[in-house]
Structures are given as structure tokens and as C-alpha cells.
Amino acid sequence: MGTGSCERRGYARNVHLFALVIALVLAVLIGCTGPRVQNPVPDALATKAWTNEKPSADYHDADADTVTSLSTALRGPEPAPPPTAEKPKNILCVSGGGKYAAFTAGALCGWTASGTRPDFDVATGVSSGAPTAFMAFLGPKYDDELARTFLNLNRSDLFRWRPVRGLLTGRGLMTSRPLEELLDKHLDDAVMADLCAAHNQGRRLFVATSNVLSHRLAIWDIGAIACSGRPDAKVIIRKAILAACSIPGLVPPVEFDVTVDGVRYKELHADAGNLTQVFLRTASTIPAGSNVWVLSAGKTHPNRAEKCAGIFETMVTAVSTTLYALFRADMVKLYAFCGTTHSRFGLIALPDNFQGRSSSMVFDPEESQRMYLVGYQMGSSGSWDVLPPDTAPGSVSPPRAGLEFTTGK
């Protein structure tokens, strides 16, 4: 009887293993091949720079302006530009970070409480930083809504699991329908009116998405859309923010019908965090004396591993670590931009010693409250770093010349 029992257990294990292998094979064969997009933008058009069909602002890309300024500096001294009477700008850049948006919400509310928070002439957001930048751009009167939103979030308020359908369709393991409904609830006529009012004052709100088919960054001028008079303006804004928060592979990308040179095409857009963690666009040049404020929805470095990870965890960690490195590289670019435009740089990030769960998709109200309070304290006390991460003297280890080291104590 004992032998038969062992044989049955062995048989059961083999059946379970076989079922697991079949499931993995199906996931690879079905889930790795997404549905074909009907009428996508041709490669010849997708790789070109597009301009708005109707007249729009004189947009400036921070990276391009930085390179231009550095090129000018390398060519040698030139006559100083004439002084300008243009008022310095206050620019807010908010990174993505899932649940860590509770920290940036706290930083903004604390900043308001300090009495030093300015009106933002430009605000930009990536991923979960898109809705944060949205409410920050509209001003402190949205602070209570900002705090309520991010302090009480559960994952089910944003996404719901549907793994079977996701594998069969290749669209995503979860649905973003709850997030879509949440955005629709918040994006009412009063918000649209506030957006238009801010835009008409010359202020700008930009949100980034990733064009899934061309693998290129797309920037949306939210205020311009709100003021466009289009009957579908609210829908486009909702879809742009939804796309900004749509994690590739986890939830389906968002479809847009676009017209290029008079021909209609279909695009798919998703979270742009794999392309940029923080970005800067403006509708004019940046006057000297401007401020670039960066709020990081998370830490500047990943948590230290307590043990050797398994294969799957190692792969996930490698991707996560790359995104942290991308954020730090973006900080150096922004700092260089500040140098070339004679602007001031400031960064608030969740302290690396904050103890919490590693996953940005595990929402815990108690943890959100702690992150919010840390952000509030840093925002109210003005705890701005004036240098990008890992750039202060002595903050990075020199090249190793052996296996014996000292910390200088």
C-alpha cells in the first residue's frame, strides 16, 4: 500500500508538472503573440517627426536644447545674449512609480503647507506621475483630492486580473477598466474648465506615452487638447492618461485613431516608463533663473537584496534595476539642461532607507500612509537635493584595484 501511495503521488506530481509545462507552452505560443493591428501607421511615416496639422505652440525639447547649448559652448565663446524681461518659470517633473505616487502626493501637499509652493508654468508626468502632475498643475485646491486618491488606492481600483483572456488575446493579463472609470469620474467639466484657464494663461501640462508599434515617445499637450474645442477632447485626455498608466504586458495598450497627411491610421499607446522616467517639454525657451523641480515616485536606487533570488525574480529585478538607472540618467540630463539654461535644479525622492515592500504594484494603505507622511515632511521642510543622484563628491566608489577595501572610517 505504501508503494502504491508513493506511485500515485509520483504520478500526480508528473501530471501537475505536465500541466504546468503545457500552460507555459501555451503562454509562449499564444501570449507572446499579440493581435495584429488593423491599419497601423507605416514605418516610413512612423519614423518621421510629426507636427500638428493646426498651428500650435513653439515647443522645445529639453534634450535638444541641451545639446544645442553644449554644442555652442564647445565651439567657443560667443557674445552674451541680450537680457530678457521674461519671468523665470517654475517647472515640475513627476516620475512614475505605481504605489509610490502616495509619496509624491505627500510632498506636494507638504509643499503647499510650507507656503512656498509656486504655480507651475510647466508640469510633466510619466506613468503614475501623469495623474499626479495633472492635479499638481491645477493647483493646491486639488490637494485634498490628490491625497484621498493615492492614500486609499487598492490595486483593484486600477486593474483587475483576467489572465486566461489575456493569454488568449495577447493583450494583457489584467484589465484597466477600473482605472478608466476612475479617470472618467474625476475628469469632469470643472476640471476641463480649470485646464483651459491654465492653458490660456500660457501654462502647459505634458503627459508622456509610449507608441507601442514604433517604440517611440509621444508627448501630449493636455491643455491644448482641452482648449481645442473638439467634442472628443475629454475622451482624448482620459485615454492619454490611461495610456500613460498602462503597463506593457500587464494591461492592454490604448488605441487611438490618428490622421497623418489626410490618411487615417490606428496607434497603440502604453506606459512610457521604459523610454523615459522623467522628461521636460516647454512651449517656449526657458529664461535664466527658472526652477526645475523633480518629484520622484520612489527611491533613486532599488532595495538591497537580502538573499540570492530565483530565476524569475532575477529577471524581474534586472528590468527594475534598469529603470532605476534610467531615472538617474534622466536626472543628469535635466541637471545639464539646468546648467545650459542657468536654471536651478531640485529633487525630492523617497529616502533609500524607507522600509517597505519592493513591488510598486502591491498597494497597502498603511504603507501608503507612511510614504505620504514622509513626502509631506520632506515637502514642507524643503528637503530638495540640488545635485542628481550619485554625483556628489565621494558618493560613488572608485574603480576596484583589488579585493580589499575601506569605507574611510
Find the range with the poorest average confidence among 216-220, 280-284, 369-373. Answer: 280-284
pLDDT (0 to 100) of residue 23: 46
More confident residue, 317 or 35: 317
Give 384's pLDDT tier (boundaries 50, 70, 90). very high
Print the SS3 string covering 64-93. HHHHHHHHHHHHCCCCCCCCCCCCCCEEEE
User: What are φ and ψ of residue 160, in 5° steps?
Assistant: -125, 140
The answer, yes or no, to whether residue 262 has pLDDT greater than 90, is yes
136-147 pLDDT per residue, tens:
999 999 999 999
More confident residue, 56 or 351: 351
Residues in the chain: 409
219-256 pLDDT per residue, tens:
999 999 999 999 999 999 999 999 999 998 889 999 99
d(CA 209, CA 298) in angstroms, rounded, equals: 19
Q: How much is the average pLDDT of 325-353?
A: 92
Q: How much is the average pLDDT of 274-300?
A: 93
- Helix axes 365-381 and 101-114, enclosed angle (nearest 10): 40
pLDDT (0 to 100) of residue 333: 92
Give 93's pLDDT tier (boundaries 50, 70, 90). very high
What integer best gives the mean pLDDT of the chain?
83
d(CA 133, CA 125) in angstroms, rounded, equals: 5
Q: How much is the average pLDDT of 297-311?
A: 81
The answer, yes or no, to whether residue 21 has pLDDT greater than 60, is no
* Grid cell in block for residue 86: 521674461
Q: How much is the average pLDDT of 166-181?
A: 78
Give 73's pLDDT tier (boundaries 50, 70, 90). low
163: left (phi over 0), alpha (psi -120 to 50) or beta: alpha
User: What are φ and ψ of residue 269, in 5° steps?
Assistant: -130, 150
185-222 pLDDT per residue, tens:
999 999 999 999 999 999 999 999 999 999 999 999 99
The most distant pair of C-alpha atoms in the chain lies apart, rounded to whole Å, by 96
pLDDT (0 to 100) of residue 3: 44
H/E stretch holding 18 = helix 2-26
CATH number of 94-303+314-381: 3.40.1090.10
H/E stretch holding 111 = helix 101-114
In DSSP notation, 359-395 reads -TT---HHHHHHHHHHHHHHHHHT--BSS-TT-STTS
- Residue 216's nearest CA partner among 33, 41, 38 is 41
Give 263's pLDDT tier (boundaries 50, 70, 90). very high
Give 359's pLDDT tier (boundaries 50, 70, 90). low
Q: Euclidean distance between the first and final Cα of the chain, in Å?
A: 67
pLDDT (0 to 100) of residue 169: 65
Give 62's pLDDT tier (boundaries 50, 70, 90). low
The answer, yes or no, to whether residue 113 has pLDDT greater than 90, is yes
pLDDT (0 to 100) of residue 116: 97
d(CA 340, CA 328) in angstroms, rounded, equals: 19
More confident residue, 45 or 404: 404
Q: 172, exposed or middle or buried, with CB in 10 Å at 0-12, 13-18, 19+?
A: buried
Q: How much is the average pLDDT of 30-55?
A: 64
Q: How far is CA 175 from CA 38, 121, 268, 292, 365, in A?
A: 21, 34, 15, 35, 22
Please, which residues have CB within 8 angstroms of residue 63's CB and are 6 or more apart in sequence? 333, 337
pLDDT (0 to 100) of residue 67: 60
3-state class of 202 per DSSP? coil
Listed in sequence order, the DSSP H helices in 115-268 are 129-138, 143-151, 163-169, 177-186, 189-200, 222-226, 233-244
Q: How much is the average pLDDT of 96-120?
A: 95
Per-domain residue ranges of the chain: 94-303+314-381
Number of H helices, E strands in the chain: 13, 12
165 contacts 282 by C-beta, under 8 angstroms:
no
* Grid cell in block for residue 320: 527594475
User: What are φ and ψ of residue 180, in 5° steps?
Assistant: -60, -40
The answer, yes or no, to whether residue 334 has pLDDT greater than 80, is yes
- Give the pairing of strands 254-260 and 263-270: antiparallel
d(CA 78, CA 339) in angstroms, rounded, equals: 17
The answer, yes or no, to whether residue 6 has pLDDT greater than 70, is no
Amino acid (1-letter code) at residue 76 = G
d(CA 306, CA 51) in angstroms, rounded, equals: 49
pLDDT (0 to 100) of residue 142: 96
SS3 content of the chain, % helix, strand, coil (to 5): 45, 15, 40
Q: How far is CA 32 from CA 29, 104, 171, 318, in A?
A: 6, 35, 9, 20
Q: How much is the average pLDDT of 333-348?
A: 92
The answer, yes or no, to whether residue 159 has pLDDT greater than 70, is yes
pTM of model > 0.75: yes
